[in-house]
Structure 1
Amino acid sequence: MNLFKRAWWRLWCHPGKTVMLVGLFFVICTLVLSGFLIRSAAARASADAKSSVGAVATMQLDLNAYLEAGKGGEGGGPGEAAGQLGADADMRRVLVDKVCGSPVVAGCNYTKDGVAGPTDQVKVHQPVPPPPGQSDELDFFKADGVRDLNAAKDFRNGDSKMVTGSGITPDSGSDMVVIEERVAKANRLEVGDRVELNASVQQPDGRLTTRKTGFVVVGVYRNGTADPRTYVSPMQAPSNQIYVSPDGATRLDGRKVGADGGYVRSATFTLRDPGDLDRLREDAEAAGLDPRIFPLSVNDKQYRTLVGPIGRTADFASLTVWLVAVAGTVILALIIASNLRERRKEMGILLSLGEKKPKLLGQHLAEVGACAVLAIGFAAAGSQFIAQGVGDRLLSGEVSAAKDSAAAEAPGQLLTDTTGGSLKEDTEEVREVEPIDAIEIELGAGDIGAVGATGLGIAALATIVPGIRVLRLHPRDILTKGD
């Protein structure tokens, strides 16, 4: 009789064992397919997040690399003292602008910090008078050179906002300045007024002198941080924060702004894809920036925040697939081995009638394979709904854990900070984002094919491993000996 007919009659005549095998395969295939679906959905969500937020690459001077290159320790040019960093330790704005034009860059910003000395025309704002005998040598404005004022942290998070005039933009000139409202009122300044600030000039012998530098007030902003309750250095008071362009900050350093623009301290580039860092390095080197002295480091915090929970959910789903596959193979192998033991006489009779051993093993494989195919069909019909529920539950737990972890790690304001928080550095250059908290399960032909291959593979492995003993049996041994 044909082995497939024998397999059919065996399944038909023993419905209890057939249903048991189908049920076991259904559980295995459902869990495996759910794992595949969750993993595929997580991969799609990660790809979408990668293309939507990209990553932020930061470029700034590596002092050790600069010194190792032999560019420190000597005067870098006229007016520079020996032992001081030369002009080549600064990034020229015109070169950074070329990198900003790279096709892999979705947005860029650069900054240059500095100070500006007060003059008789523009004095610092001191809400609390200094103690008796306090020197005014450190009375400076904190001058930040920015490419785009709206990208500055205080303006981005809403702590500061424009009152009148306009902010600093990529097109702003080197003589434009934006001041805080309290400084404007104390000095009776309005938008359009021309003012003078003291720039710090380093002499060849290393001495610092001041030089009056002209600016035009193009905007007045309001900082929501209250005045300090006790005396602090004017540079630490939020009201004494002024904004200029990077070229303006270069002028406040006592340098001339040439045709190639001023200098910047650091630059940030938002990549369209976190994997474009190598291309960005190539474009930076092509623009004339030495990648050893000005290395690029990627801050993919947004991307990691977005995909962290869903990535861990996918990892758990992948682990589940492997565990279910291994456990299912072992359980099925034990069941099939027990079934083969019960059918020793049947196999002995078939072998004595001249049936080939491989065909005898093929019959068992056909029986198990038929149960597997039937279970795969049932699993394909219901796994999408099961995977959606399981995926939502797992992802919800991961998102909740991620938020609790972020809240525990959030730094609090120091009790000794009397400036209302203005001492915190602007170390975060990207906006805060919420992790992906929804997963969209989609059942495709590829997923069904994957679970089908897995299910049939488990069926074959679970049948062949215990069935190898069949190939070593002889009819006489089977029929004359017991178990």
Structure 2
Amino acid sequence: MNLFKRAWWRLTGTPGKTLMLIGLFFVICTLVLSGFLIQSAAARAAENAKKSVGAVATMQLDVNGLLASGKNNGSEGSGQNPGIIGSAGDLKRDLVDKICQSSVIADCNYTADGAAFPTKSTRLHQPVPAPAGQNTGGTDLFKVDGVRKLDEVSAFRNGDSKMIAGKGIGPDTKKNEIVVEERVAKENKLEVGDKVELKIGDLSPGVDTSEHEFTVIGIYKSSTADTGQYVPAMMDPANQLYTTIEGASLLGGRTTDGGGTLKSATFTLNDPDDLGRLKEDAEKAGADLQIFPISVNDKQYKTLVGPITKTASFATVTVWLVAVAGTIILALIVASNLRERRGELGILLSLGEKKPKLLGQHLVEVVACAVIAIGLAGVGSQFISEAIGNKLLAGEVDSADEEAENESLQPDYSDPSGMGKQGDGRPETDPIDSLDVQLGPADIAKVGTTGLGIAALATLIPGARVLRLNPRDILTKGD
């Protein structure tokens, strides 16, 4: 008799066991397919995050690298620390501008720091005088930051500071233009277009002590109010000035050759994997990466995909556990069925039926149940996996938020201004908190392969004993 007919009669003749087998397969296939869907959704989210955020690479002086290179010449005294670091330690803006032309860079920025002594025409904002007898000579200065784009400075991006008059610093700003805070502007009765004079904030021997003239092109307002207590002038947000790279280099006592001397440069990559290409382009532009190494900081990318990656890892473990457990459970069920059907097996063998066909009949029965279960799983798994995945992801996001809260304050080099801002230690990018589950033919094929593989193993392993049976033993001795 045809084994397919016997399999059909068996399945329709015992509907309870057939439905139980289909139900068990449905649970297994649904969990496996949900795991696959969560994995694929996480992979898509990670790829999209990689494209949208990329990674930020930082380039700045490595003093140890400079000393090891043998290019340092302290006698030149034109570096960031005159007399200690020579011109070989100057990261020039012109060089960085060449690197910024690399095709792997989505955006670039850089910063230079400096300080300036007040003059008779430009006074500091100090609402509370210093305590009597306290030496304030080293702190009674304006803090001067040179930037490429003022609107990329973290304080302006997050709204702590905003322009109230004029314009900010941009790539086309002239080297002698400056932006001042509202309180300094009121203290000195300054308006957009006025001239201010400042002295280089460095008292080292040989440094120019003459006054340098700047034009006020903008006035901004900081949200940090006066405390009512004495604060060193250089630490008071009101005394924060912004100018160009060349302006900050001049006031910082550094060379302005080559467009000015940078503190650091940042490059936002199109893809975190483009770091190698960026380094190649930097070397072609003339950069010595031993002295000015480039290191990538993919903090925002990791923040985005961290929880969803952990969720995908959990889904992978679940798939394997369900597959192994399902195979074992089904194998036990098939073995139990074979034990119950020993009389049927003995009669068929005595009638001359081939042993492989007996095993094939059981395989057809199990595979038929698996196919039905796979179809049902395909209908409901998208909704189930989305609910399960989002629940798991919510837990991972909460854990990530707690870890961020507990982090110590660290410079954030993902700040595209290169300022390395100090904040509350939390990244500016929120983690991905939802899954975009999409069921496709590839997912059905994967779960189908897995389900049929489980069916085959669960049938063949216990069914192998059928090949060792003979009719006499079955019918006379039972088990």
TM-score normalised by structure 1 residue count: 0.90
Structure 1, residues 331-361: CA drift from partner, whole Å, max 9, x if none?
A: 0011111111222232233333333322222
**Residue 53 (str. 1) matches residue 70 (str. 2):** no
Q: Hey, what's the Cα distance between the residues in 2 that align with 1:319 and 1:162?
A: 52
Structure 1, residues 404-448: CA drift from partner, whole Å, max 9, x if none?
A: 443454769xxxxxxxxxxx9724799712222222222111111
**Are the equivalent residues in 2 in contact too, given 1:201–1:211 (CA < 8 A)?**
no
Alignment of 1:64-463 (within 5 A): 64-72=64-72, 74-76=74-76, 84-138=84-138, 139-200=140-201, 210-258=209-257, 260-409=258-407, 426-427=421-422, 432-463=428-459
Structure 1, residues 274-302: CA drift from partner, whole Å, max 9, x if none?
A: 22222222222221112222222222222
Residue type of the partner of 2:256? V
Matching residue of 2:416: none
Shift of 1:457: 0.3
**Are the equivalent residues in 1 in contact too, given 2:98–2:285 (CA < 8 A)?**
yes
- Greater mean alpha carbon deviation, residues 427-436 or residues 162-171: 427-436
Shift of 1:128: 1.0
SS at structure 1 position matched to 2:431: coil
**Are the equivalent residues in 2 in contact too, given 1:178–1:243 (CA < 8 A)?**
yes
Shift of 1:150: 0.8
Shift of 1:255: 4.1
Call closer, same or farther: CA 1:313–1:158 in 2, change over 3 Å: same
Residue type of the partner of 2:242? Y
Q: Hey, what's the Cα distance between the residues in 1 that align with 2:373 and 2:52?
A: 39
Q: Hey, what's the Cα distance between the residues in 1 that align with 2:81 and 2:240?
A: 30
- Greater mean alpha carbon deviation, residues 320-329 or residues 5-14: 5-14
**Are the equivalent residues in 2 in contact too, given 1:142–1:241 (CA < 8 A)?**
yes
Q: Hey, what's the Cα distance between the residues in 2 that align with 1:25 and 1:13?
A: 19
SS at structure 2 position matched to 1:210: coil
Call closer, same or farther: CA 1:78–1:100 in 2, change over 3 Å: closer
Residue type of the partner of 2:87? A
Q: Hey, what's the Cα distance between the residues in 2 that align with 1:427 and 1:57?
A: 18
Matching residue of 1:420: none
Matching residue of 1:34: 34
**Are the equivalent residues in 2 in contact too, given 1:59–1:268 (CA < 8 A)?**
yes
Q: Hey, what's the Cα distance between the residues in 1 that align with 2:376 and 2:80?
A: 79
Residue type of the partner of 2:437? I
Matching residue of 2:17: 17
Q: Hey, what's the Cα distance between the residues in 2 that align with 1:89 and 1:75?
A: 13
Q: Hey, what's the Cα distance between the residues in 2 that align with 1:13 and 1:4?
A: 14
**Are the equivalent residues in 2 in contact too, given 1:228–1:237 (CA < 8 A)?**
no
Shift of 1:4: 1.8
Call closer, same or farther: CA 1:464–1:167 in 2, change over 3 Å: same
Unaligned runs of 5+ in 1: 413-423
TM-score normalised by structure 2 residue count: 0.91
**Are the equivalent residues in 2 in contact too, given 1:182–1:239 (CA < 8 A)?**
yes
Matching residue of 1:415: none
Between Structure 1 and Structure 2, how many residues are aligned?
469
Q: Hey, what's the Cα distance between the residues in 1 that align with 2:79 and 2:376?
A: 82
SS at structure 2 position matched to 1:75: helix
Q: Hey, what's the Cα distance between the residues in 2 that align with 1:3 and 1:359?
A: 7
Q: Hey, what's the Cα distance between the residues in 2 that align with 1:80 and 1:448?
A: 62
Q: Hey, what's the Cα distance between the residues in 2 that align with 1:480 and 1:75?
A: 105
Q: Hey, what's the Cα distance between the residues in 1 that align with 2:353 and 2:310?
A: 52
Q: Hey, what's the Cα distance between the residues in 2 that align with 1:130 and 1:81?
A: 29
Shift of 1:79: 9.4
Q: Hey, what's the Cα distance between the residues in 1 that align with 2:310 and 2:331?
A: 31
Call closer, same or farther: CA 1:321–1:455 in 2, change over 3 Å: same
Q: Hey, what's the Cα distance between the residues in 2 that align with 1:79 and 1:268?
A: 20
Q: Hey, what's the Cα distance between the residues in 1 that align with 2:172 and 2:318?
A: 56
Structure 1, residues 149-204: CA drift from partner, whole Å, max 9, x if none?
A: 1111221111211222211111112111111122222222222222221125687x
Structure 1, residues 34-60: CA drift from partner, whole Å, max 9, x if none?
A: 121222222222222221122222211
